[in-house]
Amino acid sequence: MSDKKKILVLFVLVLFVVLGGLIYKGFGGELFQGKMSEIKMFESDSGVHQEDSSFYNFLNWKDYSKVYRRFDFEATPIFGPSYYEGESIYQSKQRMARAVDVLVVVDSDDYPDLKKEEIHELLTLGQNTWLLPKSGFYFNVMDVKFISFVDWEKPFLGSYDEGIVKGYNGYGFVQEYLEGISPDLFPEYILFVVKDEYSSTYGGWANVYPLDLLNKDFADKYCSEFPSVKDKYNIPVGTVNYGYKYARCGYDESGEKIIGGVSSGGECKGAEGTKCVDKNGHQMCSSFVDNFFAKSLLHWSSYVVVHEFLHSYGVNENNDHFGTPVCIKSMGGEQAFEDYVKYNSSGFLKDEPFGFSVEWCIFCPSVWDNLKGSQQVCY
């Protein structure tokens, strides 16, 4: 090759590199590598405007991807503190590929003053305490809907558990909501925020939304990146009592009215007469105030959000909980279970009663393995 041809080839290569850098800077670098305040306002199909960079404002990634379809992937920050300043397009893509899409439905009768920002804070705490450290996955809040559950009828699902009968009203809303959107926008987890008998007693409960029964026309078109191990048509459902009174003390059966200054009626794990103290805005058993779940009003509720989600990745119902004989057997026996927990736990709750159990969100490590192994690509 002559010297002139060599110079020409070199010039073309340099020009290609320069142009590539300018294209990247113009179409991606500045948008995705800056702060959220640099991302301008867009309007989603649902008519929701995502505008500024306030700490908990979030961008609906499924809507946002339509704006940046030229990148051929859904690249957007998850809500609030899950977004990292200076995050590159590649980093955003990698993180969104590990995001569980969540539809949150709030009973506006039970929570007339609850804000989206508070929902984001709740899920962020659960994500950063359990979901992310144990699975590498994130929560992506697709939408938060505030509805009156009494305005919706329960769809027919056979028999109903009376303890959660109010929560089933939310199924009626979800059924209509899903019929108004494309199956590729369906959530991978549905979270109801409502006060019914079970959530008021325990903080929450788990169930599934049977897509093949309630939205038959869409069932075969639905693809979850994290399908339930029980049934690919089941969307995991969790219900949480936002701000559940952890270790409440001195209340009546409803848990709302204070009737005394010491425990009664089975409170404080049956320790009758335990002194009640004020913490997190309610009366709490004095013997529980130093526990991990007493750190804030949201610690127990955020645990419930993750715990109920995990139920869809176990096959043994309550026997999938941490340390049960079924759990220990699934891990290869007592010694194998102890070794696994010892070498795969951070120990950040080592000084807590049942600390390892709480660190694993009170679920068997094999259930976490099922969740991680469930991930698939949806086109």
Residue 110, C-beta contacts closer than 8 angstroms, at least 6 positions apart:
149, 193, 194, 195
Residues 191 and 206: their CA atoms lie apart, in Å, by 9
Q: Which is more confidently placed, 242 or 84?
A: 242
Q: How many helices (H) and strands (E) does the chain have?
A: 15, 9
Query: What are 71-103's pLDDT values in tens digits?
Result: 223 333 344 334 445 666 666 666 677 899 999
Query: What pLDDT score was predicted for residue 254?
Result: 82
d(C-alpha 169, C-alpha 70), whole Å: 40
Q: What is the full DSSP assignment across 124-173?
A: HHHIIIIIHHHHS-EEEEEEEEEE-GGGSPPPP-SS--GGGHHHHHHHHH
Q: Pick the closest to residue 24 from 71, 73, 87 (CA basis).
A: 71
pLDDT band at 299 (very low <50, low <70, confident <90, very high): very high
**Do residues 188 and 219 lie in contact, with contact meaning Cβ atoms separated by under 8 Å?**
no
Residue 288 has pLDDT above 50, yes or no: yes
106 in Cβ contact with 66 (< 8 Å):
no
- From the list 356, 346, 361, the residue with the least C-alpha distance to 311 is 361
Angle at 297 between CA 141 and CA 349, to 5 degrees: 90
What is the pTM (predicted TM-score) of this model? Answer: 0.76
- State the Cα angle at 92 between 89 and 94, rounded to 5°: 110
pLDDT at residue number 93: 64
Confidence class for position 4, pLDDT limits 50, 70, 90: low
- Calculate mean pLDDT across residues 177-194: 92
CA pseudo-torsion sign 192, 197, 203, 207: negative
In terms of Cβ atoms closer than 10 Å to its own Cβ (0-12, 13-18, 19+), residue 378 is exposed
Residue-wise pLDDT for 338-376, tens only, equals 999 888 888 887 777 678 899 999 999 999 999 999 999
CB contact at 8 A, 297 and 243: yes
Over residues 310-335, the pLDDT tens digits come to 999 999 989 999 999 999 999 999 99
Looking at residue 313, its pLDDT comes to 96
Structure letter (DSSP) for residue 247: T
